[in-house]
Structure 1
Amino acid sequence: MYYVKFLAKRFVAIVITLAAVIAISYIMMYYSPGGFMNTTQLASALAPLAAQDPAAYQKLMEQFQSRYGLNLPLWKQVLLYEWHTFTFNFGNSMQNPTLSIMSQLKGALPISVFLAFGSVVVSVVIGIPMGIIAALKRNSWVDYLVTTLSMFGQAIPSFVLAVLFVLIFGVVWQNVLPVTGWGTPADAVLPILSLAAGNIGVVARYMRGSLIETMRQDFIRTAKAKGVKYWALVFRHGVRNSLTALITVIGPQFAFTVVGTVWVENIFAIPGLGKVISTAFTNFDFPMAITAVFILGATIMLTNLVVDLIYSWMDLRVKLQ
């Protein structure tokens, strides 16, 4: 019963937050200069019709606006898109009116999820050992080196690192790793490393701090007094109990890394969710843009919910409220 009440409260909060995010995104696109019918390619294609037959051009514009609800007052447009989104009736995009939005996202979304998941795995595999070493060698040059590298990785945005990788492997070390395209395992190496760099620093610092705090606990001193060997003490008791705190970091990392792929995918010319979002917002494709915002927002919020549930399950001292 307790979990049911908790899930009900969180579900209501998620719905309200997503509704606000969708409304803000739509209003920002609505008041941005331009519009779908005024994008460069479409405007050029319709220019002869506007000049030769203004009446036919006006009729075409009215049909287009009526199809996507753009002839309604702004508040009605927002409510219309809110309703379509929450009922999962995403419809068709403006750029490809014959294709459903979900069919277009079916190929892009798995790529972004794969890159995000791969970067989190890399950050965990590298970050946890770095944090353990830094904690065990506290206040030594090893600790300072790990801390410096962690801060350095967090300070560089993923898209800046992606640009550096393109310059290095596209100009200096050509043919070592591909810098554009998608289709082979090698294509994922540089994007994953770009996304993982900051996460490695976060995981390493949290692991270091958590392990240092755990090793100060009374049960560690008790186990040591009973004669438990050093490495068993560190890994069975110290590291094992320190990993619980990392759950609160790794979960949101995955969600926010999915969002971070938007920039990295464009730099490496990867046909993922990033390309879809940038194209949708650039061309004022309202249905596609709002659907992408909804998917990203829902991913972040549901991931945080799962993390809270897992954390409370692993640590009985934690209360969900």
Structure 2
Amino acid sequence: MFYAKFFAKRFVAIVITLAAVIAISYIMMYCSPGGFMNTTQLASSLAPLAAQDPAAYQKLMEQFQLRYGLNLPLWHQVLLYEWHTFTLNFGNSMQNPTLSIMSQLKTALPISVILAFSSVVLSVVVGIPMGIIAAIKRNTWVDYLVTTLSMFGQAIPSFVLAVIFVLLFGVEWQNVLPVTGWGTVPEAVLPVVSLAAGNIGVVARYMRGSLIETMRQDFIRTAKAKGVKYWPLVLKHGVKNSLTALITVIGPQFAFSVVGAVWVENIFAIPGLGKVISTAFTNFDFPLAITAVFILGATIMLTNLAVDVIYAVMDPRVKLQ
């Protein structure tokens, strides 16, 4: 009963939040100057028709607006796109009227997910040992070095680091690592590191603080009094109990890494969700843009929900609330 109530409340909150995100995104696109039919490529191709046969051009515009509901009042358009999105009836994009949106996202979305997941794995593999070392060597030069590197990684946005990598490996250190493309391990190194740098800092600092706090607990003193040696005490008792709290940090990192991948993918020319979103918003492709926003928002919210559930399962003392 308790779990059913929890999931019901969270489901309602997710639906309301996604509806608000979709509405705001649509209204912002609608109010932006320009439009799909006014993009440079289409405008130049339709210019002769507009000059030679204004009536035919006007009829074409009316048919286009009717097909995508752009002739309706704004509130009606928002509700229409809300309904289509939540019923998973994404339809076809404006750029490719004969191609469904799901078929376009079928190849792009897995790339973004793999990129985000790889960056989270790297942040865990590197960040946890850094945090452990900093906690063990607390208030020494090692601790200060790890803390400084962590703050440095958090301070630089992933897209800025990506641009730096492109300048270094694309100009100064050519042929060391590729700066464009996707499909091989060398091509994934720079994008993954760009996304993981900030997360490594977060994991390291959180692990450090969590382990220091855990080592102050009474059960650690009891284990020490029973003669447990230092390293088993730290690794088996301290680190193990600190990792449970770390889930609250690692979980949302995946969702935000998917969002961060949007920028990184464009810089490294990766054919992922970032390219789809940038193209959709630039060309005022309403169906494709709203679908991409829906997927990103749903990813973040469902990941946070999964983190809450996993945290409660791993630590029975924590209740879902």
Work out whether the TM-score is over 0.5. yes
Distance 1:221 1:183 in 2: 51
TM-score (norm 2): 0.99
Partner of 2:303: 303
Give structure 1 regions of 4+ aligned residues with deviation exceeding 4 angstroms: none
1:11-90 pair list within 5 angstroms: 11-90=11-90
Distance 2:199 2:77 in 1: 39
What is the root-mean-square deviation in Å for CA atoms of aligned residues? 0.5
Amino acid at match of 1:131: G
Partner of 1:275: 275
Partner of 1:210: 210
Distance 2:243 2:158 in 1: 25
Secondary structure at the residue paired with 1:139?
coil
Distance 1:3 1:319 in 2: 10
Partner of 1:243: 243
Partner of 2:4: 4
Secondary structure at the residue paired with 1:94?
coil
Question: For each residue in 1:208-240, what CA deviation from the matched residue of structure 2 results, as whole angstroms up to 9, or x when unmatched?
Answer: 000000000000000000001111100110000
Secondary structure at the residue paired with 1:145?
helix
1:47-196 pair list within 5 angstroms: 47-196=47-196
Distance 1:189 1:109 in 2: 19
* Post-superposition offset of 1:183: 2.3
Distance 2:237 2:4 in 1: 33
How much identity, in percent, do the aligned residues show?
89
Distance 2:22 2:202 in 1: 30
Distance 1:187 1:51 in 2: 48
Secondary structure at the residue paired with 1:34?
coil
Structure 1, unpaired ranges of 5+: none
Question: For each residue in 1:175-226, what CA deviation from the matched residue of structure 2 results, as whole angstroms up to 9, or x when unmatched?
Answer: 1110011222211110000000000000000000000000000000000000
Structure 2, unpaired ranges of 5+: none
Amino acid at match of 1:96: N
* Post-superposition offset of 1:98: 0.4
Secondary structure at the residue paired with 1:98?
coil
Secondary structure at the residue paired with 1:132?
helix
Tell whether 2:275 aligns with 1:314: no
TM-score (norm 1): 0.99
Distance 1:257 1:171 in 2: 27
Secondary structure at the residue paired with 2:162?
helix
Partner of 1:222: 222
Distance 1:183 1:251 in 2: 26
Secondary structure at the residue paired with 2:241?
helix
Distance 2:44 2:186 in 1: 39
